[in-house]
Homo-oligomer: A and B are copies of this chain.
Amino acid sequence: MDAGSGSAAPSQAVPSCCRLTLADALRAGEPPADLFARLAVRHWPHEPDAIDAIRAKADAAVARAAANAVTPIVWSDARYPAALAAIVDPPPVLWTRGDPAAWDGTLVAIVGSRAASAYARSVATTLAADLAGRGIAVVSGLARGVDSAAHRGALDADGVTIAVLGSGLDVVYPPEHAPLATDIARRGVVVSELVPGTPPLPEFFPRRNRIISGLSRAVVVIEAGEKSGSLITARCALEQGRDVLAVPGNVLSGRNRGAHALLKDGAKVVESADDILEELGVGVAGSGCRVAGSMGSAGSAGSRDPILDCLVPGEPSDLDEIAERSGLLPSRLLPRLMELELAGAIARVGGGRFVRVDRPC
């Protein structure tokens, strides 16, 4: 276990009220272990026992993770997903099973009703398969209904998919999806911010949803009712500056009120994967050239692109540095960086940093 993962469990164990402060400190470059020590002194100044207890729990969690083939990836790890690092409250640690390279490409979330109709499941499977066939990884929540249909669609198309859990990775919920989680870990990654052993309590799922959207460039909602958790994911996506799209459906069943409400609020209508690709600005002509659409625009922007001008060729910069230089909020900046990356104008390097790529036009 390396130094980074060794500091994972303590930073996970701090009270949730500290999360924003914690994210800011991590973003500012403070090593997680130092940060934990500082927070511990502030929150439990006269309770060395409490600090020791947290450290013991953390060590137990790390040991349990190791025993269960779960790998923690901390904020400062180069493998930590850059898109998630850009949200206001990124998890300090991601507990993972599978290959974290799964989130290196373009990611699209597909979420929706647990009590999904056959129609919704069919749409989820079809969209996921079509996205996967074009090299886009599908993010979802491993839930019954739309989520699992989306994961299966991507897997059946030999694509990559990412499941974000609302429990520890060794406590798969719903239990009957354990084989699906195993399949996902073989071909993508299963991930949670919750330490191994954490049960799937209802309060974990709304916060889990911010990770689904935070990993993704866009969130597609299928068959969400009026109070669907998918609407939380959609709201998170909007707050994070990601695209929100929705699949229309029957207006008489009441099953689509949430999805239609999103459409009324300006979410893009999705009938097919092409609609999603169009919204992302990536090519829709064929699977051979994923970036045909954006390539042209980025190419024509050339060195006049204000974000490119903030990057020194060969010198990696992190999101905050680029944000400071460009004057753009990280949440607004990230979609542009992703476009530039897809266009080959910049490349992602370790620690969620970006480097400008100069090449002949």
* Chain A residues at the B interface, C-beta cutoff of 8 Å: 119, 122-123, 126, 247-252, 256-257, 260, 263-264, 268-272, 275
Contact = CB atoms under 8 A, between A and B. Distances in A.
A315 B272 CA distance: 56
B271 A260 contact: yes
A258 B119 CA distance: 20
Contacts of A268: 264
* Most-contacted residue by chain B among A119, A248, A270, A272 (CB, 10 A): A248
A61 B42 CA distance: 95
A271 B249 CA distance: 10
B251 A260 contact: no
B248 A251 contact: yes
Contacts of A126: 252
A251 B263 contact: no
Contact of A256 (B248, B257, B270): B248
A146 to B, nearest CB: 14
Given A249-B250, A264-B268, 14 more contacts: A119-B252, A123-B251, A247-B251, A248-B251, A248-B256, A248-B260, A248-B263, A248-B269, A250-B250, A251-B271, A260-B271, A263-B263, A263-B269, A264-B269
B252 A122 contact: yes
5 contacts: A119-B252, A123-B252, A248-B249, A248-B263, A263-B263
A150 to B, nearest CB: 15
A247 B122 CA distance: 21
Contacts of A260: 248, 269, 271
A333 B334 CA distance: 44
B250 A251 contact: no
Contacts of A271: 251, 256-257, 260
Contacts of A263: 248, 263, 269
A251 B270 contact: yes
Contacts of A119: 250, 252
Contact of A249 (B122, B251, B270, B275): B251
A269 B119 CA distance: 20
A251 B264 contact: no
Closest 7 CB pairs of A and B: A248-B248, A251-B271, A263-B269, A264-B269, A260-B269, A260-B271, A247-B251
Nearest to A256: B248
A99 to B, nearest CB: 32
A122 B264 CA distance: 22
Contacts of A247: 251
A270 B264 CA distance: 9
Nearest to A248: B248
Contacts of A250: 119, 249-250
Contacts of A248: 248-249, 251, 256, 260, 263, 269
A126 B119 CA distance: 22
A263 B275 CA distance: 13
A279 B34 CA distance: 57
Nearest to A122: B252
Contacts of A270: 251
Contacts of A264: 268-269, 275
A275 B248 CA distance: 16
A91 to B, nearest CB: 34
A256 B119 CA distance: 14
A123 B293 CA distance: 38
